Structure 1
Amino acid sequence: MAPRRPPSPPVETLMHLDFSGKVALVTGAASGIGEAVARQLATNGARVVVADLDLAAAEAVAESLGSGARARQLDVGDADAVRQLVDASVAEYGGLHLAVNNAGIGGASLPTADYPLEEWHRVLGVNLHGVFFSMKYEIPAILASGGGAIVNMASILGSNGWAGSTAYVAAKHALVGMTKTAALEYSAQGLRINAVGPGFIDTPLLAGMDRAAYDGLVGLHPIGRLGSAEEVAALTCFLLSEQASFITGSYHLVDGGFSAR
């Protein structure tokens, strides 16, 4: 593959954010955005549950974060598995204060009328039902711990369409609405809930893409490059922090200008 554009500038470690004494659960945390979020939380004092379907990769991440992190295998599409993980995390750490519902899948690329029913259910099962299951069990645990914050990982496709991705787009639009609804329900009880909408992020998933396709994605972002997982994590961790204490029920884009076109 031809050389890519220069990488994005490094994001400084968020040392001004203090998560000391906080317990955080991050789903889809074995790689990409989830891993970057887990690292920034741990660097700033949180004890982190690194949850992912890929247990071996989650264990590698948790080991690199130190003794305050734990790796746990999780299929977010399994409601009972989510309940058990939240209960086990509270039992081990004594509470839960922060959650990032990041686990997600892409799905097939086909026109709406040709979209297979099984694929529709598979994508919504992870990207929408998985977030609902997560919040269903995270919310009582966080309220019982004195309050905190949740960030649900949406996408630019939570507010835009994308041909061939009807299930993914439907799930991400619904996720934004679900986030706003839950925020209305629990903000007065000390629980803030927001959504983040990343643009196209330069992760290992794009490593095999040819130069023309990669440059095509870059061209959709007026800033002239793709984003980094660390940049998404920086916004996510800010929203989890007390510095965002008056922000709830919002959908925050980190997309290099994609949605401003």
Structure 2
Amino acid sequence: MNQLDFQGRHAVVTGGAAGLGYAIAERLVQSGGSVTLWDRDASAAQQAALVLGAKAAAVEVDVSDYLSVQAAVKRTVRQSARIDALVNGAGITGPNAKVWDYPLDAWRQVMDVNLNGLFYCCREVAPLMRAQGWGRIVNIASVAGKDGNPNASAYSASKAAVIALTKSLGKELADVDVRVNCVTPAAVRTAIFEQMSPEHIQFMLGKIPMGRFGTPQEVAALVAWLCTEECSFSTGAVFDLSGGRSTY
């Protein structure tokens, strides 16, 4: 494992109790930083923080609730003084269905978590980063946001919106040393697969030229680098982790 320099920095990782979020938090701690895990599952977040050790803390937050995000920011700043990096990893897939059959409540829920929740976090944290003159925001999008997966319209649309939001915010913060980027993984085997049908999982695998799913550690390696000072001239950018599926 290459050693990245996140020494003395503090990151907030949403959805940090498990899956990609946990792997990213683990890599940031291994790189010398400290982390606060934001997750709606308070018990899982506390357990994950215990495993990560003294440089990890947990805060219960529902990112789809703006007031909950505001409270989480205040609590985190009280505990850690700064937020140097924000990794927006919280997300859900929603059901697999045709657009004309897609449940309205499920559509709203996917948008509330994947898009609105990410917007709330960026809205609250970006001013803090501007004020301190340094920051890194990394949004977890998806190759589905570039290609559009059939039977996953809400997920695909929400992740396409995350890509566009990243580009907008990156330009808005380009006048200070705050970089905003997103990553677009192809399917990575985590507990989120439990929300998908077996047919949809097989469809995604068939799209990847490497013939395998990504690993959380592979995503974490790129995200951790995007959180460091070495990521200095990339902002509003989209970084693929797709096993060859997406080449544009």
TM-score band, normalised by shorter chain: over 0.9
Aligned length: 248
Q: Which residue does the alignment assign to 1:4?
A: none
Which residue of the other structure, out of 37, 43, 50, is the alignment partner of 1:56?
Answer: 43
1:157 to 1:206, Cα distance in 2 relative to 1, 3 A:
closer
In 2: Cα distance, 1:215 partner to 1:145 partner: 46
1:23 to 1:210, Cα distance in 2 relative to 1, 3 A:
closer
Residue 213 of structure 1: how far off its partner (Å): 7.2
1:36 to 1:63, Cα distance in 2 relative to 1, 3 A:
same
Residue 216 of structure 1: how far off its partner (Å): 5.0
2:147 alignment partner AA? N
User: Secondary structure of the residue that 1:258 maps to in structure 2?
Assistant: coil
Is structure 2 residue 70 aligned with structure 1 residue 83? yes
In 1: Cα distance, 2:100 partner to 2:168 partner: 30
Q: Which residue does the alignment assign to 1:177?
A: 164
For 1:1-261, list aligned pairs within 5 A.
Answer: 12=1, 14-15=2-3, 17-206=4-193, 217-260=204-247
1:47 to 1:191, Cα distance in 2 relative to 1, 3 A:
same
1:213 to 1:81, Cα distance in 2 relative to 1, 3 A:
closer
User: Secondary structure of the residue that 1:30 maps to in structure 2?
Assistant: coil
User: Secondary structure of the residue that 1:40 maps to in structure 2?
Assistant: helix
The unaligned stretches of length 5 or more in structure 1 are: 1-11
User: Secondary structure of the residue that 1:188 maps to in structure 2?
Assistant: coil
1:185 to 1:56, Cα distance in 2 relative to 1, 3 A:
same
User: Secondary structure of the residue that 1:72 maps to in structure 2?
Assistant: strand
Q: Are the aligned partners of 2:94 and 2:195 in contact in 1 as well (CA < 8 Å)?
A: no
Residue 205 of structure 1: how far off its partner (Å): 4.4
Alpha-carbon deviations, 1:191-219, whole Å to 9, x = none?
10001001011224448999987665433
| Percentage of matched positions with identical amino acids | 37
User: Secondary structure of the residue that 2:210 maps to in structure 1?
Assistant: coil
Residue 110 of structure 1: how far off its partner (Å): 1.5
Q: Are the aligned partners of 2:96 and 2:200 in contact in 1 as well (CA < 8 Å)?
A: no
In 2: Cα distance, 1:189 partner to 1:205 partner: 35
2:50 alignment partner AA? E
User: Secondary structure of the residue that 1:227 maps to in structure 2?
Assistant: coil
TM-score, normalization by structure 2: 0.94
Residue 96 of structure 1: how far off its partner (Å): 1.1
User: Secondary structure of the residue that 2:139 maps to in structure 1?
Assistant: strand
User: Secondary structure of the residue that 1:164 maps to in structure 2?
Assistant: coil
In 1: Cα distance, 2:196 partner to 2:116 partner: 30
TM-score, normalization by structure 1: 0.89
2:18 alignment partner AA? S
Alpha-carbon deviations, 1:129-167, whole Å to 9, x = none?
000000000101222233110000000011011111111
